Amino acid sequence: MDNLAEHISSHGRALLNRRDFLRQSGMAMGGIGLTQLLAQDGLLASDNLTVSGKTPIRPQIDPNNPYTPRASHFPAAAKQVLVIYCPGAVSHVDTFDYKPELTRFHGKKPPGIPQVTFEGPTGNIAKPFWDFRPRGKSGKMVSDLLPHLGGMVDDFSFFHSLNTQTSAHPQGENFFNTGFTMEGFPSFGGWVTYALGTENQELPAFVAINDPRGMARSGKNNFGNGFLPAAYQGTDFNAKNPPSNLARPNRYSPTDDKRTVDLLNRLNSKHLEGYPDDADLAGRIASYELAGKMQVSVPDVMGLSHEPESIHKEYGTDSGSNTKREYAKNCILARRLVEKGVRVVQLFNGSDPSGGNGITNWDSHNEILKTHAMQAEIMDQPTAALIHDLKRRGLLDQTLVVWCTEFGRMPFLQANGTGRDHNPDAFTCFLAGAGVKKGFSYGESDEFGFKAAVDPTSVYDFNATVLRLLGLDHERLTYYHNGLERRLTNVHGQVVKEVMA
């Protein structure tokens, strides 16, 4: 028998096994039904372990109100989070990651530079397009491109050794914001509101403030709910455009609205009599009350005219390009939302590149000197004012600020070009505010800023750290979907404790 087995092909063996499988299982199963077998199996899906072997912490969600505030896993200073996302990939070597070697090798092509990167053939090393100088008490080197943010480095914790999994924007945005390069996974903001609910029941728990120029390349995927319930998607509005269908249409008077709702309540109460204590029905009735409150509270929070002129001046709503003025208003809106206790505010600085590379976002393949300057003009002053304003009002004590972009840019130019291509292997982001070390830098890229060198940090690590700062265990914050306890960090990620205050 052994001899036979040795001589037959792997196909043949598998076929033999198949017959055995059917026969054996047939015999084994002959007498007992499935029930007994299941009883032996014991575990129910709800008791699944996560892939890393931990027990999930499932938020207790009240169907009547999916946004009820819930406790974090650990005590944490940060109760809220403001994410400032810069689509298009900000050049780290021209902003926060000082690399004097680039000046030394300017115009040269040292060994180790690849022949082809995302957009094609590579050119020579280019020194930073802006001069760097020491800033703040910490003396952190920041370029002249971002003087306002540069002035605040003593409040920031930089990550200089970030690396990501893709050099394409949409996948990069997906990966940063959802933990997966593919589409359809819950966004960071979705995960946080699913875990924590929100304090202010009259405003959305998660607001996505899109850039005045439009949505980023991955669109709604950056703030979507993925497979989480729709309750945890980001509500999309900015200083200019309120959420769709929020306003009472002109044709209805306030009395019309009241009549509609009164009649609706009467119909619903009668219907509820047939289903006493039905939580789904009661929850839907409650959602109409909340909608009514939002019709008041959202326009209220959008009322930037109540802000003093000094604030407008500080943020820069009165100077510079139109886009900058609009973005500055978005920044004031972001502060007002944080002030009102909105759990997650995601502020975008950049949109889809239909206007050309480097024009509508940070994707400076061409003329980086001009295009990065355009983006910086929009981003720098308002963003710095926003963080400063939060600090002044004491809101940074309970708010985590995350400034980020999907990847970096290359230390060399594109062949015969004036811009830098995508760099997935090294880039810089920073944290500030609640629970974050001040005036600190973690990790280093190599001498050219080409690859992460010291303490390489993945986007998983970064997201795990951000969740940890919000008091959440990235390995236990899970949602069962299609066979797995899914997480923001998939099966990876290590908290970078070094940046925690």
Partner 1 sequence: MTLMIKFGLSAIASQFGKKGWLGLNRRASVRPMQRIYFIIALATGPLASAVDFERDIYPIFEEHCIECHGPDKQKSEFRIDQRSRVLRGGDSGIPGIVPGNPVESFLIEVLKDPDPEFRMPSEADPLSSDQIELIEAWITEGSEWPGQMDVVVEEVSSDHWSFQPVNRAESPVTAEQAIDAFLLEKLDEAGLSPNPAADSRSLIRRVSIVLTGLPPVPERVRAFQKAYAANPSASYSDLVDELLASSHFGERWGQHWLDVIRWAETNGSESNLYRKNAWVYRDYVVRAFNDDKPYDQFIREQIAGDSMDAGEATGFLVSGSHVPPQSVGREETAIRQARADRMDEIVQTVGASMVGMTMGCARCHNHKFDPITISDYYSMTGIFQDIEFGGRRPEYSEDHPKRQKAAPLWEAIAEQRKILKSLGNWEEDWGGYRELYFDSVKTRKIRISFQTPNAKIDELEVFGDKERQKNLALASNGATVDGPIEMFGDVRTNFAYANDGEYGAFGLQLKAPKKSDEKPWVVVSFDGPQEINRLRLSSNREYYYEVDYQSVEFPMGFSNYRLEVENEAGDWVEVASISKINTANKNQPKRAAAIAKIATVAEKLAEVGPQVSFVGRFVEPVVTRVLSRGSPESPRNEVMPAAPMILAGDLGLSSDSTGSERRVQFADWVASSENPLTARVMVNRIWHHVFGMGIVPTTSDFGKAGALPSHPELLDWLAAEFVEPSTSGGEPWSVKALIRLIVMSDAFRQSSQPNDAGLAADAGSSLLWRFPPRRVEAEVIRDAVLLASGSLDDSIGGRGYRIHNAKKTYSQWEVVNNYGPETWRRMIYQERMRRVDDNMFTAFDFPDCGQVRAKRPISTTPLQALNLLNSKFVQEQADRLAERSIKDSADDDLEAQIRRSFQLIFNRDPDDEELAASIEVVKESDLSLVCRSLINSNEFAFLP
Binders of partner 1 in range 334-353 (CB under 8 A): 352-353
Q: What is the distance between the alpha carbons of residues 117 and 412, in angstroms, rounded to a whole number? A: 11
Residue 405 is a binding residue for partner 1 (CB under 8 A): no
As to burial, measured by CB atoms within 10 angstroms (0-12 exposed, 13-18 middle, 19+ buried), residue 111 is exposed
Residue 247 is a binding residue for partner 1 (CB under 8 A): yes
Q: Tell me the closest approach of the beta carbon of residue 249 to partner 1, in angstroms.
A: 6
Binding-site size, partner 1 (CB under 8 A) = 116
Q: Among 1, 3, 11, 305, which residue interacts with partner 1 (rule: CB under 8 A)?
A: 11
With CB under 8 A as the contact rule, which of the stretches 70-78, 273-281, 404-412, 465-473 interacts with partner 1?
Answer: 273-281
Residue whose CB is less far from partner 1, 72 or 478: 478
Q: Tell me the closest approach of the beta carbon of residue 474 to partner 1, in angstroms.
A: 17
Q: At what angle do helices 459-469 and 188-196 cross, to 10 degrees?
A: 30
Residue 27 is a binding residue for partner 1 (CB under 8 A): no
Q: Tell me the closest approach of the beta carbon of residue 352 to partner 1, in angstroms.
A: 5
* C-alpha 159 chain-centroid distance: 16
Q: What is the distance between the alpha carbons of residues 146 and 136, in angstroms, rounded to a whole number? A: 13
Site for partner 1 in 414-433 (CB under 8 A): 415-416, 422
Q: Among 224, 316, 358, 435, which residue interacts with partner 1 (rule: CB under 8 A)?
A: 224
Under 8 Å between Cβ of 438 and 155 = yes
In DSSP terms, 134 is beta-bridged to 141
Q: Tell me the closest approach of the beta carbon of residue 161 to partner 1, in angstroms.
A: 14
Residue whose CB is less far from partner 1, 270 or 497: 270
Q: Among 8, 264, 296, 501, which residue interacts with partner 1 (rule: CB under 8 A)?
A: 264
Q: Among 103, 104, 288, 501, which residue interacts with partner 1 (rule: CB under 8 A)?
A: 288
Under 8 Å between Cβ of 489 and 474 = yes
Residue 453 is a binding residue for partner 1 (CB under 8 A): no
Quote helix, strand, coil % in the chain, to nearest 5: 40, 15, 45
Q: Among 270, 309, 394, 497, which residue interacts with partner 1 (rule: CB under 8 A)?
A: 270
Q: Among 56, 150, 212, 226, which residue interacts with partner 1 (rule: CB under 8 A)?
A: 226
Residue 8 is a binding residue for partner 1 (CB under 8 A): no
Under 8 Å between Cβ of 361 and 350 = yes
Residue whose CB is less far from partner 1, 148 or 284: 284
Q: What is the distance between the alpha carbons of residues 253 and 250, in angstroms, rounded to a whole number? A: 7
| Strand, coil or helix: 77 | coil
Closest CA to 162 of 420, 494, 459: 459
Residue 116 is a binding residue for partner 1 (CB under 8 A): yes
Q: Tell me the closest approach of the beta carbon of residue 258 to partner 1, in angstroms.
A: 10
Residue 33 is a binding residue for partner 1 (CB under 8 A): yes
Residue 369 is a binding residue for partner 1 (CB under 8 A): no
Q: Among 100, 107, 120, 299, which residue interacts with partner 1 (rule: CB under 8 A)?
A: 120
Under 8 Å between Cβ of 243 and 235 = yes
Residue reference for tokens 């055995």: 20
Q: Among 291, 296, 454, 501, which residue interacts with partner 1 (rule: CB under 8 A)?
A: 291
DSSP labels, 82-146: EEEE-TT---GGGTT---HHHHHTTT---TT--SEETTEEEEEE---SS-EEEETTTTEEEETT-
Residue whose CB is less far from partner 1, 95 or 166: 166
Residue whose CB is less far from partner 1, 312 or 487: 487
